[in-house]
């Protein structure tokens, strides 16, 4: 856990070279590296403009038969959107069930908010419907985030629909949604 905290801190501080050196030392010295560590490194690479390295690492993990979890796939989806690789993000989402996994509310939130940012609001609505049909319950955070993104895109009527869902569930509006 300590290594993960340090790695995450190095990436957040923009010290990607130091983080990668530490990561390589961990793997070369035989320290057990868990899926959470790989997810932190993938996220750090994307956030530090090293998307090609992140994709290469992910492919290496696949080749080594490392068990990929939903957090790792969600990180890859977010990274693909961040680098404007929308089709690849959609492909990663589509691969979730093939990996024996189920999308989490966070995964749906990443997909929906980024689809809205890309102007694909109908796809985001379809994603919300499929989320509900799959039995994944929308939480306050997801709904507030969707409303904010829709308002940014001037999709007032659609935002109203999601505001109604917030009201129906007796959720509160977040401060950032009301300002």
At 59-69, the pLDDT tens digits run: 999 999 998 99
- pLDDT exceeds 80 at position 1: no
pLDDT tens for each residue of 11-61: 999 999 999 999 999 989 988 888 999 999 999 999 999 999 999 999 999
Closest among 84, 87, 24, 26 to 57, alpha carbons compared: 24
Q: How far apart are CA 118 and CA 49, in angstroms?
A: 19
Q: How far apart are CA 38 and CA 94, in angstroms?
A: 21
Query: What is the pTM (predicted TM-score) of this model?
Result: 0.92
Q: How far apart are CA 73 and CA 99, in angstroms?
A: 10
Q: How far apart are CA 36 and CA 48, in angstroms?
A: 18
pLDDT value at residue 99: 87
Q: How far apart are CA 65 and CA 178, in angstroms?
A: 45
pLDDT value at residue 35: 92
Q: With contact defined as beta carbons under 8 Å apart, do 42 and 79 qualify?
A: yes
pLDDT value at residue 72: 96
């Amino acid at each position: 856990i300590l290594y993960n905290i340090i790695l995450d801190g190095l990436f957040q501080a923009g010290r990607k070279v130091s983080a990668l050196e530490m990561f390589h030392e961990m793997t070369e010295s035989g320290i057990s590296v868990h899926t959470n560590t790989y997810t932190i490194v993938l996220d750090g690479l994307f956030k530090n403009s090293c998307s090609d390295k992140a994709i290469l690492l992910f492919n290496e993990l696949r080749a080594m038969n490392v068990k990929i979890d939903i957090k790792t796939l969600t990180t890859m989806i977010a990274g693909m959107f961040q680098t404007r690789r929308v089709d690849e993000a959609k492909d990663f989402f589509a691969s979730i069930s093939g990996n024996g996994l189920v999308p989490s509310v966070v995964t749906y939130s990443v997909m929906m908010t980024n689809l809205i940012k890309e102007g694909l609001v109908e796809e985001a609505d379809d994603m919300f419907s499929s989320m509900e049909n799959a039995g994944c319950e929308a939480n306050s955070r997801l709904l507030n985030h969707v409303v904010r993104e829709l308002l940014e895109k001037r999709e007032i009527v659609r935002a109203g629909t999601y505001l109604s869902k917030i009201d129906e569930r007796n959720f509160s509006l977040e401060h950032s949604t009301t300002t």
